[in-house]
A and B are shown apart, each in its own frame.
Chain A
Amino acid sequence: MSSDLLDSEISTGLALEVRQVTKSYGNLVALDDVSFELRKGEAHALLGHNGAGKTTLVRTIAGQVVPDSGAVFVDGALVSLSSPRDAQVCGIAVVDQELTLLPALTVAENIHLGRRDARFFGAATDRNGKIASLLTRLGLAHIHPDTLVAELSLAERQLVEIARALSRDAQILLLDEPTATLSDVEIQRVFTVVRDLLTEGRSVIYVSHRLGEVLDLCDRVTVLRDGRRKATRPVAGMDRAGIVRLMLDEGAVEAARIPRREGNGDAPSVITARGLAAPQLFSLVDLTARAGEIVGIAGQIGSGASSVVRALAGLVPSCTGEVAVDGHPGSPLGTPIRSARAGIAFVSNDRKSEGLFLDKSITRNLVATRPRQTCRHSVVSAKRSRDLGRQLCALVGIDAKRAEDPVSSLSGGNQQKVFIGRCLEHPEVKVLLLDEPTRGVDVAGRAEIHNLVRRAAAGGAAVLFVSTEFDEVLDLADTVVTMFGGRVVATHRGSDIDASTILAETTHGSSVRGVA
């Protein structure tokens, strides 16, 4: 089957084989006769943009989806993976794309949870220090196994999630976007642990949108496109561009490329913040955004960048400072309603719990912020909502036929487009804030989302976005603000943006702290 593989290790045998699996949802064929082989001791990347079938394949292997036809073999034996528990029995441990930790339980309880060999008594304790040593390996030595997960930061939770999968002592580790919320140092720690597993002869399936990580960690890569396997290749000798070419049609790559815009330095400033501060998050932050300007705030996790936009959205009650929004008398700080009244729209980095009404229709989501446009004499007009919904669907590039489908039926990238679309063509929005606008979105979806953001700016809004990915900041921003340790390091306007400066300023704050 793997005729394009001439590795000498081909005789080592397969840890997992997915053979000719097909799965459809209604008319949509998510997986079309897809096969996938995982060797023992290899790290195998699974790539493909949203809608390519990647998620369905991952869920099949994790026992969350039962395919219509096809078979799965683990260690040469035919298995039936009809529940997550079955997958566990077969020696497959999963780090889900979404966090599955339970905040009300302790770290130790979470790690033991769902183990098929868990004892009936003593389910809550770290019996022989195994958990503590696992946490230490992942750089979480400061966290006691009896800490409630509710008290952990997002990055720490992600690492605990990984610790749980590692604790299962599984032969096959399935990592689905495990690093989306981690910093570079933390990612390297995870990689070190994963490499140890590989040398023990265990296998890893690695799903990520970050191609750099794939090149760094993986031995082989399988690319899916439109529900089919496009190729399986050794990573050695491949580069980013090569992988992207496999993932996209050439036409799509061209269409996705948008020329950089020149910022307009003469436009009036729409939002000005001076001396923003919130205890333990950030201090002394000054920001300005002009009409039509896209300001990118670059910073690693914990730099305070995300907290700054959350504060402007009224979500950090302890934030103080002076904020003036053009044409609005009061300060937007303090509560989300105050912020919204000032004409600020916020796209959170967590669309599931802070953004979309998942079980409501795409139209309902798109018009949710527009009571004035959809009402006639204070009564909601179904016709106006429908028309506006269609119009906005067209704007964000979603088939109008799906306008009445629930948002949850869309892929992650399309959900994000709906989330952003809610703030577009909105007469009351003067400032658009975005926190990680393309987290977990593939290359093509990302280009589309960037276009939407540019469109908002072209319409006269001031845009502020936060990203931990420098490529994104460089692609999208007219003005780049770098942050480190809760302070602004520098502000770069127009042409003096350059990648190495941004990287230096956001990772080595100590050398430039004096600037702030």
Chain B
Amino acid sequence: MTTRPGMARLARRSRRGGLPYVLLVVMLLVFVVLPVVAGQQVTSFNYYNLFQVFASLGLLSVALGLTMIAGEFDLSVLGTYAFAGLVAVKLGADDPVVGLLAALVLAALIGALQGALVAWFRLPSAAVSLGVYIALLGLTATISDSKTVPYNNLNVSDVLDRQYLEIFSLRSIIAILAVAAIAVTMTYTRFGRDVRAIGSDRRASLRIGVRVDSILVVLFVLSALLSALGGSMLALSLAAATPDPGFDPLIFALTAVLLGGVSLRGGTGTVLGIAAGILTLSLLRELLTVLATPTYVSSLATGGLLLVVAFAAAPGLNAWWLSMRRPTKRVAEPPSLSRVG
């Protein structure tokens, strides 16, 4: 009974946290089967759309999920997302690459500032990042005069969104590569392990000698970079930047992260799991588009899905189930001494 050690390790690792992938497979099956039953057609364009969502909201979700794995909560990703789009459109008027780089550099600075406040001054990240989010919205409103800013170089949009291999675009490929790089970093490097460690137990991590402060700063920079990449590419491809994207992107991101097996307490969850969560949620949305269902059905389905996952992943569920079952069993047949053991 010898298996290859790599396989054994994989099996051991996937014993926990397999739920997001199961969910993705189920959703994919539903996505393939249900439209056929309903007499609708799923085309490659639907899959293309899926990855287009991944390139914007997906990056935002990974940005949010990364800080949650470390036990922090970076609400500012939504502000960075909007701000970076605006910067890319404004400063990239001549050259989109300049706009993109400017957006990323400014986002990195915002991330570093937040990371420093959280790490060195021990400020709660939810409060700091909420403040930064609100401030960034104010900033985008000032820059744009609260109006959508158009981008005149429509060629850029063409290049970013042209279909490759039927279902990909340059934009979605960049996003997938970025997420893959983060996933590899989180799984196979010291940095990734330390992030999970500080999310699991910060005090213990400090005592063992993990550099908690610098890891937090880097993490907030990464988070800001990812959301800025998503936001700026979206603005360039839509050829327009909106100063306030509303709350929907954040709701999407949080749902995807939770579907992806990340706990609000930190320490658990993987980037691959988050990616599976993003795809599951995108599939659900796309499915409801294909079936032409009204928006409220989408909300109901998304909410229902999240509740199901919350129940399935609840650690206390098993114990609760056992304790609920016990009394009826006892009344029926009290165990006698001779039968036990």
Contact A283 B188 (CB under 8 A): no
Given contacts A113-B194, A124-B193, A317-B322, contact A105 B200 (CB under 8 A): yes
State whether B209 touches A318 (Cβ < 8 A): no
Cβ distance A310 to chain B, nearest Cβ, rounded Å: 13
Closest partner residue, chain B, to A144 (CB atom):
B12
In the complex, identify which listed stretch (B34-42, B111-119, B154-162, B333-341) lies at the interface while the others stay far away.
B333-341
Do A114 and B208 touch across chains, with their CB atoms under 8 A apart?
A: yes
Contacts of B204 in A (CB 8 A): 98-102
- A248 on the B face (CB < 8 A): no
**In the complex, A96 Cα to B190 Cα: how many Å?**
22
Q: Is the CB of A105 within 8 A of B196?
A: yes
Contact with A along B204-227 (1 / 0, CB 8 A): 111111110000000000000000
Q: Are B193 and A85 in contact (CB under 8 A)?
A: no
Docked pose: A83 CA to B15 CA in angstroms: 36
In the complex, the answer to whether A120 meets B335 with C-beta atoms within 8 Å is no
Residues A100 and B340 in contact, CB atoms below 8 Å apart: no
Cα distance, A334 to B200, chains bound together (Å)? 29
- Tell me if B340 and A120 are in contact (CB < 8 A): no
Whether the Cβ atoms of B193 and A123 lie closer than 8 Å is yes
Q: A114 to B205, Cβ gap below 8 A? A: yes
**CB-contacts of A94-122 with B (<8 A):** 94, 96, 98-106, 109, 112-116, 118-122
Chain B's interface size range is: 35 or more
Contact of B334 among A83, A98, A103, A322 (CB under 8 A): A322
Q: Is B319 an interface residue when CB atoms closer than 8 A count as contact?
A: yes
A80 at the interface (CB under 8 A from B): no
Which residue of A102, A105, A283, A320 is within 8 Å of B330 (Cβ)?
Answer: A320
Complex: chain A residue closest to B206, CB-CB: A84
Q: How many residues of A contact B (CB 8 A)?
A: 49
- B334: nearest chain-A partner, CB-CB: A322
- For A85, give its contact among B8, B194, B211 (CB under 8 Å): B211
- Docked CA distance A84–B341 (Å): 49
Instruction: Report the minimal beta-carbon distance from A448 to chain B, rounded to whole angstroms.
Output: 29
Q: Is the CB of B197 within 8 A of A113?
A: yes
Residue A494 at the B interface, CB < 8 A?
no
B15 to nearest A CB, angstroms?
8
The verdict on A113 contacting B340 (CB below 8 Å), with A120-B189, A334-B326 known, is: no
Question: Quick one: CB contact mask for B84-100 with A, threshold 8 Å, 1 for yes?
Answer: 00000000000000000
Complex-state Cα separation, A121 to B9, whole angstroms = 17
Bound complex: CA A4 to CA B340 (Å): 62
Tell me the bound Cα distance from A115 to B197 in angstroms.
13
Chain B residues with CB under 8 Å of A118's CB are: 190
Task: Judge whether B268 and A334 touch: CB under 8 Å.
Answer: no
Rounded to whole angstroms, the CA-CA distance of A124 and B13 in the bound complex is 11
CA distance A509 to B334 in the complex (A): 29
- Binary CB contact string for chain A from 258 to 296 against chain B (1 if under 8 A, 0 otherwise): 000000000000000011010000011000000000000
Contacts known (A84-B206, A113-B208); A123 close to B189, Cβ less than 8 A = yes
The number of residue pairs between A and B whose CB atoms lie closer than 8 Å in the complex comes to 116
Is A277's CB under 8 angstroms from B341's CB? yes
Contact: B9 with A146, CB < 8 Å? yes
Inside 8 A of A119's CB, which chain B residues have their CB? 190
Q: Does B267 contact A (CB under 8 A)?
A: yes
Whole-angstrom distance between the alpha carbons of A329 and B12 in the complex?
46
Q: Contacts of B211 on A, CB cut-off 8 Å?
A: 85
Complex contact B192–A123 (CB within 8 A): yes
Known: A104-B200, A104-B267, A146-B12. A113 touches B323 (CB 8 A): no
Q: Which residues of B contact A124 (CB under 8 A)?
A: 187-188, 193
Interchain CB contact (< 8 A) of A102 among B189, B200, B209, B323: B200
- Contact at A103–B200, with CB atoms within 8 Å? yes
Q: Is the CB of A100 within 8 A of B208?
A: yes
Question: Closest B-chain residue to A286, C-beta based?
Answer: B337
Asked if A307 CB lies within 8 Å of chain B CBs, one says: no
User: In whole angstroms, how far apart are the Cα atoms of A275 and B334 in the complex?
Assistant: 10
Any A CB within 8 A of the CB of B166? no
B residues less than 8 Å from A148 (CB atoms): 12, 15-16
Q: Answer yes or no: A82 CB below 8 A from chain B CBs.
A: no
13 A-B contact pairs sorted by A residue (CB < 8 Å): A84-B208, A85-B209, A88-B209, A94-B207, A99-B204, A104-B200, A104-B268, A124-B188, A146-B9, A148-B12, A320-B326, A331-B330, A334-B326
Query: Which residues from chain A sit less than 8 Å from chain B, CB to CB?
Result: 62, 64, 83-85, 88, 94, 96, 98-106, 109, 112-116, 118-124, 144, 146-148, 164, 274-275, 277, 283-284, 317-318, 320-322, 331, 333-335
Binding site for A on B (CB under 8 A): 8-9, 12-13, 15-16, 187-194, 196-197, 199-201, 204-211, 267-268, 319, 322-323, 326-327, 330, 334-337, 340-341
Given contacts A123-B192, A334-B327, 5 further A-B contacts (CB under 8 A): A104-B200, A146-B12, A147-B12, A322-B334, A334-B323
